[in-house]
Chains A and B, each alone.
Chain A
Amino acid sequence: MQNGAQIEYDYSIAKAFTFATILFGIIGMLVGVILAFQMAFPELNNLAGEYGTFSRLRPLHTNGVAFGFTLSGVFATWYYIGQRVLKVSLKESPFLMAIAKLHFVLYFITILLAVVTLLMGITTSKEYAELEWPIDILITVWWVLWGIGIFGLIGIRRERTLYISIWYFIASFLAVAMLHLFNSMAIPTGLLTGYGDWYHSVSMYAGSNDALVEWWYGHNAVGFVFTVPIIAMIYYFLPKESGQNVYSYKLSILAFWGTLFVYLWAGGHHLIYATVPDWMQTMGSVMSVILILPSWGSAINMLLTMKGEWQQLQSNTLIKFMILASTFYMLSTIEGPIQSIKSVNAIAHFTDWIPGHVHDGTLGWVVFMIMAALFHMAPRMYKRELYSKSLMDTQFWLQTTAIVLYFTSMWIAGITQGMMWRAYDEYGSLVYSFIDTVTVLQPYYTIRAVGGLMYLIGFFMFAYNMYKTATCGRVLDKEPTNATPVAA
Chain B
Amino acid sequence: MFHWFEQRPFFFAVLVFIFISFAGIIEIIPDFAKQARPTVGTKPYSILELTGRHVYIKDSCNACHSQMIRPFKSETDRYGMYSLSGEYAYDRPFLWGSKRTGPDLMRVGNYRTTDWHENHMMDPASVVPGSIMPAYPHHFTNLADVETAYGEALAVKNVFNTPYDVDLNGDGKFDVPLGTFEEASALALQEAKAIAADMKNQAVKDAVANGKIPEIVALIAYMNSLK
Please determine whether A193 and B131 come into contact, CB atoms closer than 8 angstroms: no
> Does B126 lie at the interface of the complex (its beta carbon under 8 Å from any beta carbon of A)?
no
Which B residue sits closest to A121, measured CB to CB?
Answer: B58
CB-contacts of B101-158 with A (<8 A): 101-103, 125, 128-136, 138, 142, 145, 147-152, 154-156, 158
Known: A42-B131, A346-B72. A195 touches B99 (CB 8 A): no
CB neighbours (8 Å) of B58 from chain A are 121-123
Contact B155 A435 (CB under 8 A): no
**Interface contact A194-B151, CB-CB below 8 Å:** yes
Among B20, B36, B61, B87, the residue within 8 A (CB) of A174 is B20
- CB proximity of A41 to chain B, nearest CB, Å: 9
List the one stretch of B8-16, B167-175, B187-195, B205-213 in contact with chain A. B8-16
Contact of B63 among A54, A151, A192, A208 (CB under 8 A): A54
Q: What is the size category of the interface that chain A forms with chain B? A: 35 or more
User: Contact mask A308-350 → B, CB, 8 Å, 1/0?
Assistant: 0000000000000000000000000000000000000010011
A194 — which chain B residues lie within 8 A by C-beta?
151
Identify which of residues 41-83 in chain B touch chain A, using a CB-to-CB cut-off of 8 Å.
57-64, 66, 68, 70-72, 74-75, 77-78, 83
Determine which of A125, A263, A274 lies in contact with B57 in the assembled complex, contact meaning CB atoms within 8 Å.
A125
The listed residue (A207, A268, A429) touching B91 by CB distance below 8 A is: A207
Our pick among B77, B89, B131, B148 for the contact of A207 (Cβ within 8 Å) is B89
Which one of A171, A202, A277, A421 lies within 8 Å of B92 (CB-CB)?
Answer: A202
For A205, the chain B residues whose CB sits under 8 A away are 92-93
* A206 touching B88, Cβ below 8 Å: yes
**A173-193 CB contacts (< 8 Å) to partner B:** 174-175, 178, 182, 187, 189-190, 192-193
Interface residues of A (CB under 8 A from B): 38-39, 42, 45-46, 49-50, 53-56, 58-59, 121-127, 151, 154-155, 160-162, 167, 170-171, 174-175, 178, 182, 187, 189-190, 192-197, 200, 202-203, 205-214, 216, 253, 257, 260-261, 263-265, 268, 270, 273-277, 280, 283, 346, 349-352, 354-355, 421-424, 429-430, 434-435, 438-439
Known A253-B2, A261-B19, A346-B72; 19 more pairs at CB < 8 Å: A55-B134, A155-B9, A167-B12, A170-B12, A189-B152, A192-B159, A195-B147, A207-B36, A207-B87, A207-B92, A208-B85, A209-B35, A211-B88, A264-B24, A274-B96, A350-B100, A354-B98, A355-B99, A434-B102
